[in-house]
Structure 1
């Protein structure tokens, strides 16, 4: 009897072992995929520290606190709006390929990790506007625009391209967001800037006056942080820890960004007889934006070529927008994310090893990419333009000249990022009569209690 029982147990173990091994392997794969997506989400979140440093460093010290607050508000507002309505609009069941129709408040959604990763992207798109409108927009107006960008405008674009939308069905390709994230953000930024106008003193008597940033090393640190975060931005878009695809995506991301820096430095030396540091730093971002659409489809030489072209486009784009069009963009966001976003999207139709013109696949993909670019620009500029116009019917979207000259740190927040005691002899020299710092407010409360 004992031998029979032992044989039965051994036989049952032999049957169970393959099933146990298969279950363990599946669980391990799911865990690794989850860990990779979470790590990528953390890297994309950390990019907002980079945006805050770049925007602060490339603008004047008196507006640093305002820029920091805008970035904190963006990363806080974006995920909540995306949870409430944005995710459903973007990834819900499609209505005629235009807009999602369910999954609001994550109803019926099991993959929370995917939601977290996508929530980081929506905030990245919105924060592009922050740099372009720096030093003159009312923070309340910026918040309203951010709400609509994260809640509706960006999710609609995402549905078109990354869900069951009409552009996706057409064959449009944007792996990690040259169009969905960067071109959408830049189109919104350009629209608001056109309403705002230039900063005081930027253009005078037909000349372009340089308004230098107060801390280029800070901006450089921000670029390094963005560079690091972009490996999660592009690499995480694989949505799984694919041992073949992830390293290739990281490699093309690295090569394009390096190419962007090198070509910007060399071209600025040729163009202006000096290597311009702020342009070179933006060249890294130009290369990153340029390769983001095709990072999973292009070869390493193709990625380098995309980055090299991105750097040249950056220099010429900023020069044209600033000097010819006289559109004041303090950090070059409309060129970095807009012009290079367009180039990166079209570059898929040229350099994709699967569908690109240069690989013998014809021009059909390039045409589809161009249709997508035009559609996204039109949608974003019309909706953001209409929203901004409505806001202007009720209030000014721009701070007063006095507030702008004093700085938005004081006029919008009653405080400043730095101590100016060694520079100014009196509080009144930097602060309007109705602005109070935190200490003033606390003292006022104490005085009121005493009386």
Structure 2
């Protein structure tokens, strides 16, 4: 490979790494925008903690757990290549990764993905989880659970070789299952064990709206996430291949747009209001839905996948409320339900569509669901019985910012109110 092309590939991957890093600002804005003012510092602290500690645990052992070098005869379930990171001899040359990027870029790009799984959980448990318990959970989930699941597919483990009939293995281009549902399953378990926020459900069990304090920030967060998804999906081409990257950015954007439109249309029909939060979550649902097969779909198929994801969001949020689960930002509907939808869509649309592929996608999603629910429950239930996972009633009512951080996100604003 020409040195110039290798350099261009590597620069593109570094740009995509930056875009995925930028997504953490988008997640932060979305979460604080859809929750109350009194918990803003707490949410920002969690998101900063996630990216810092996520990178460190991925460096210490996560990367070598996710890419352990499975060999013929291995079960393809668990293997560890050792502590720390050090580049192989060909790591900075076109001989590495088919000339798509250097080894160091590979580590950093994958490290940006790792922290996302815990960020998904952060939004779902907002406003009532103990910060210390959340930090312990993040260390274990990002350091162990996420890379083990990732190794099953991207590390060439058993999912990548799973087949049925004419299918050629489980397929998840950029992580509808391996990133989004991994976070989504943990979010579901955490919300179940935590219970709803005070005032979320009335005495007769009807859900009550707890409005977010800053919808402009929430909207900014979603638009930042959409931009960051160009790196999330575009970088998953693993090179600057013109045809591949161009198609992926088109399918990603069309799915996002279609998801937003369908979510706002259905929510308007159901609730007789133009709901901005449903519109925003519809966009995210479309993005999550296209992530598993962004490189396989035509523009028409991307629109269909995104459109159906937007409908799923509205119905998913309603179902979660009906089950008396409290998810302040809609993370479970977006990342879990649409993550499953996107994974199954690979068997329904695009160049791999077939009954056999659909069954493999279903089996793969089921394997990840089983592992993630069991591990998330084990971690969180242990924390609940030891250090506790929920703040006191007084702390929740007065806000986590003052009680856990001793500060206010809008100190001047609050002073002017008195």
Q: Same fold (TM over 0.5)?
A: yes
How many aligned residue pairs are there? 393
Alignment of 1:222-237 (within 5 A): 222-237=221-236
What is the CA–CA distance in structure 1 between the aligned matches of 2:407 and 2:303, rounded to whole Å? 45
Alignment of 1:227-306 (within 5 A): 227-306=226-305
Contact map agreement 2:124 2:328 (CA 8 A) in 1: yes
What is the CA–CA distance in structure 1 between the aligned matches of 2:410 and 2:64, rounded to whole Å? 42
- Indicate which of 190, 193, 197 corresponds to 1:192: 190
Post-superposition offset of 1:108:
4.9
Q: Deviations over 1:227-276 (max 9, x none)?
A: 00000100000110101100000000010000001101111111112221
Q: Which residue of 2 aligns with 1:93?
A: 69
Contact map agreement 1:87 1:104 (CA 8 A) in 2: no
Q: Which runs of 5+ in 1 are unaligned?
A: 1-24, 358-362, 426-451
Alignment of 1:33-432 (within 5 A): 33-94=9-70, 95-109=74-88, 110=91, 111-170=103-162, 171-205=169-203, 206-322=205-321, 324-353=322-351, 355-357=352-354, 363-419=355-411, 420-423=414-417, 425=418
Q: Deviations over 1:135-178 (max 9, x none)?
A: 00011111111111111100011001111211111100000000
What is the CA–CA distance in structure 2 between the aligned matches of 1:58 and 1:209, rounded to whole Å? 14
SS in 1 for 2:84: helix
What is the CA–CA distance in structure 2 between the aligned matches of 1:108 and 1:254, rounded to whole Å? 35
Post-superposition offset of 1:103:
4.7
Q: Which has the larger radius of gyration?
A: 1
Q: Deviations over 1:300-341 (max 9, x none)?
A: 10000000000000000000101x101000000011000000
Post-superposition offset of 1:392:
1.9
Contact map agreement 1:297 1:352 (CA 8 A) in 2: yes
Post-superposition offset of 1:100:
3.0
What is the CA–CA distance in structure 2 between the aligned matches of 1:343 and 1:48, rounded to whole Å? 24
Contact map agreement 2:290 2:306 (CA 8 A) in 1: yes
> Which consecutive segments of 4 or more residues in structure 1 shift more than 2 A?
107-110
SS in 1 for 2:416: coil
What is the CA–CA distance in structure 1 between the aligned matches of 2:118 and 2:178, rounded to whole Å? 11
What is the CA–CA distance in structure 1 between the aligned matches of 2:143 and 2:273, rounded to whole Å? 43
Contact map agreement 2:87 2:104 (CA 8 A) in 1: no
What is the CA–CA distance in structure 1 between the aligned matches of 2:397 and 2:109, rounded to whole Å? 39
TM-score (norm 2): 0.93
Q: Deviations over 1:371-423 (max 9, x none)?
A: 01111111011001001111122121111000000101011100010121133
Contact map agreement 1:255 1:303 (CA 8 A) in 2: yes
Superposition RMSD in Å: 1.0
What is the CA–CA distance in structure 2 between the aligned matches of 1:184 and 1:244, rounded to whole Å? 30
Post-superposition offset of 1:107:
3.8
What is the CA–CA distance in structure 2 between the aligned matches of 1:161 and 1:193, rounded to whole Å? 28
TM-score (norm 1): 0.86
Tell which has more relative contact order, 1 or 2 (C-alpha 8 A, sep 6+): 2
What is the CA–CA distance in structure 1 between the aligned matches of 2:87 and 2:314, rounded to whole Å? 47
